[in-house]
Structure 1
Amino acid sequence: HEIVHKHGGKYLSRSGNIKQVEGKPTDASLIAIVEFPNLDAAQAFIDDPDYQEFRKLRVNGSNSTVHIIDSSDAAGTIPYLK
């Protein structure tokens, strides 16, 4: 979407082909993974006035969560995960 691109974002996946293999079952029907150049760009996308109508529709029309994560490797500091 042009709003994602405006903030330097790139879709890595937008798929409904979901196979959950671990954890508490969810009813996810679509997962989107978007890469932004940095955390500020991701937050700017979320806060963009042009996105707010889409955000409202998503929030009111679905059970959804949005996570912003950085590229740190916290799990890599755990010895048994190295």
Structure 2
Amino acid sequence: MSVYLIAEIKITDDSWVPDYAANVHKLVEKHGGKYLARSGNIDTLEGEERDSTLIALLEFPTRAALDGFATGPEYAPYAQARQAGSISSFRVIDDTDIAGAIPYLKKG
């Protein structure tokens, strides 16, 4: 079952960004994941405006693969740098439909 990491980030100190941007995608790939988007072009269509600088959407083949990336020792220094220089929210969803009404998604 695929899982998706939704990262909402408000950069408060951009000194960590170049190293993170250049290297973390390799760690994501090492764990079977891929970026679907990493963008600062954010529009709010509905709801309260959030103060995010960028939003990234990543896909991993399993929750174990995502956890291996997010909690692994190779990512730890990048995570620490991001956490020190931003306000971040990481959320995980799977590829299911809670209502079970969309035929191409698994019932959740």
TM-score, normalized by length of structure 2? 0.67
Letter in 2 for 1:2: K
Offset of 1:75 from its aligned partner? 4.2
Number of matched residues? 77
Offset of 1:76 from its aligned partner? 4.2
- SS of 1:50's equivalent in the other structure is coil
Q: What is the aligned partner in structure 2 of residue 22 from structure 1?
A: 46
Q: 2-side partners of 1:3 and 1:75: how far apart? A: 34
Relative contact order, CA 8 A, sep 6+: which one is greater?
Answer: 2
Residues 21 and 37 from structure 1, CA distance in 2 versus in 1: closer, same or farther, beyond 3 angstroms? same
Q: What is the aligned partner in structure 2 of residue 42 from structure 1?
A: 66
Q: How does 1:3-82 map to 2 (within 5 A)?
A: 3-76=27-100
Structure 2: unaligned runs, 5 residues or longer: 1-24, 102-108
Structure 1: unaligned runs, 5 residues or longer: 78-82
How many percent of aligned residue pairs carry the same amino acid?
47
Contact 1:9 1:36 in 2 (8 A): yes
1:37-72 superposed Cα distances (whole Å, 9 cap, x missing partner): 011111111011000011011111111100121111
- Higher-helix-fraction structure: 1
Q: Segments of 4+ in structure 1 off by > 4 A?
A: none
TM-score, normalized by length of structure 1? 0.87
